Amino acid sequence: MADVDVDKQREATASIRGYLYQLDAALLEILNSDIDDQIVIEGIEDFDRYSAEEITYCQVKYYAGKDLTNSVLRDPLYKLFQHFLGLDENARKNRKYSLYGFYADIKISTDPLTVERFKEIMEVGEYIPDAAGVKRLHKKSLLDDAVAADEVIEAFCQVFRIQLSSEFFEHRSSVIATVKRVQGISLLEAEGFHYPRAFDFIASMATKADHNDRTTTRRALQEHLKGTQAVHRRWLLREKDASEYGKYMRQLYFAPNNSAGVVRTFIIDVSTMKDSATICDQLREIARKWSSAKSKTTPNNERYAPFVVLRHSSADLISQVKNELFDTGTDFVDGFPYNGSAFRAEHLNAAQTKERQIALRFADNTDQLLQAVEIIGRKLCHFYDFFFESPLVLEVPGAKSRMVSIPVDDIATIKKII
């Protein structure tokens, strides 16, 4: 390979890396914010966070080849102070300012600022020739042209902080780890699928001219990421054989043996199915694995039975499935306690006991399911969406609910997964 000539003075690597670092920092802020806090990319500062209590302005710096000194801190600190100084007294009360970044070395204290320390940082030394031509050091301050009382400087110091972060690749790893935690996924999924899609979401937003188009929330980001898991699993389904795929999914989502305290819902796409016997075979396996119906030792107050929904099913197919389950001795409840009854969510939540061995809770559609789940309290809820073509779009209730979309090419694959 031929040598490539590079002008080191014009090489843009540091600038590009600094901008990527800034986008990673903004993504980390979104992931760690409350669900509806607004984050503005390239707002007043590199990113601004608007919460119910306060507004935070953040500058991001990535100086892998530069130490943090007074002179390096001076300009960004002064810019943040100028913004604070321009606000009226009431507006200053809920403002915060942050300098976030990485430096080759830290040569100064990063403790909270005092008025004296702030003034020291603002001082600039300049060598000016005297009448005899001898250069002498003269000190001036960036504050010389600003009308800033000590109490205003003190108020600013109280709301300013320096956040020292890690070098580029370590910082990116921490962002990916946060994606993993917030999305409740594996590291492989976070690194290979969710993080690239999230970064693209932020990078595309940063190019918009209108600040409204550069404003987002954690809720919006998570909506954007909803389809990512399904795409990943569709790829896995294609690349792996059924047994290997089933084992992988089982390890991810169905390894725990103890289901007590967890409400599980199995939503099964039956759009290509006409055979009720095959469907019942899967439902009986779900009941065997994820219901305590046949347990002789589980106390009544700790018993559990999963909800099931047949998605894209006709009323006739649902009726056939219910009849076959009943005829083969699988005890289940639906939301209809008697012939002609209106749907009753409380009946779908009838208690399983040693005497009443309810194995399944059968909802005819997702509307019935959501009504039933809403009245169960604060339990952790897992929704498993087994689909053929497209994942289910469902607004799951509560912060403790979790939706997992799993593609299958054959309904029999479900037994291999669960």
Place 142 in a pLDDT band, splitting at 50, 70 and 90: confident
Place 11 in a pLDDT band, splitting at 50, 70 and 90: low
Can you give the pTM of this predicted structure?
A: 0.58
Maximum separation of any 2 CA atoms in the chain, in Å: 111
Helical (H) or strand (E) element with 57 = strand 55-63
Assigned token pair, 115? 């008025």
Better-scored residue on pLDDT, 68 or 126: 68
Better-scored residue on pLDDT, 282 or 1: 282
311 phi/psi in degrees, rounded to 5 = -80, 145
Contact 85, 148 (CB under 8 A): yes
- Over residues 296-311, the pLDDT tens digits come to 888 888 889 999 999 9
Tell me how far apart the alpha carbons of residues 78 and 119 are, in angstroms, rounded to a whole number: 10
Looking at residue 237, its pLDDT comes to 65
> Which residues share a beta bridge with 47?
41, 58
pLDDT at 259 > cutoff 90: no
- Over residues 198-241, the pLDDT tens digits come to 999 999 999 998 888 999 999 999 888 876 666 556 666 666 67
Count Cα atoms within 13 angstroms, Cβ side, for 214: 19
Looking at residue 256, its pLDDT comes to 59
Handedness of CA 103, 107, 112, 117 (dihedral sign): negative
Better-scored residue on pLDDT, 145 or 393: 393
10 Å Cβ neighbour count for 246?
A: 20
Tell me how far apart the alpha carbons of residues 359 and 234 are, in angstroms, rounded to a whole number: 30
Of the candidate ranges 122-126, 156-160, 181-185, 251-255, the one whose mean pLDDT is the lowest: 251-255
Helical (H) or strand (E) element with 118 = helix 115-122
Looking at residue 1, its pLDDT comes to 47
Looking at residue 399, its pLDDT comes to 64
- Over residues 286-298, the pLDDT tens digits come to 999 999 988 888 8
Looking at residue 77, its pLDDT comes to 96
Percent pLDDT > 90 in the chain is 54
Looking at residue 229, its pLDDT comes to 61
Of the candidate ranges 47-61, 146-160, 380-394, 398-412, the one whose mean pLDDT is the lowest: 398-412
Buried b (16+ CB within 10 A) or exposed e, 82-106: eebbeeeeeeeeebbbbbbbbbeee
Looking at residue 247, its pLDDT comes to 82
- Over residues 319-339, the pLDDT tens digits come to 999 999 999 999 999 999 988
- Over residues 58-114, the pLDDT tens digits come to 999 999 999 999 999 999 999 999 999 999 989 999 999 999 999 999 999 999 999
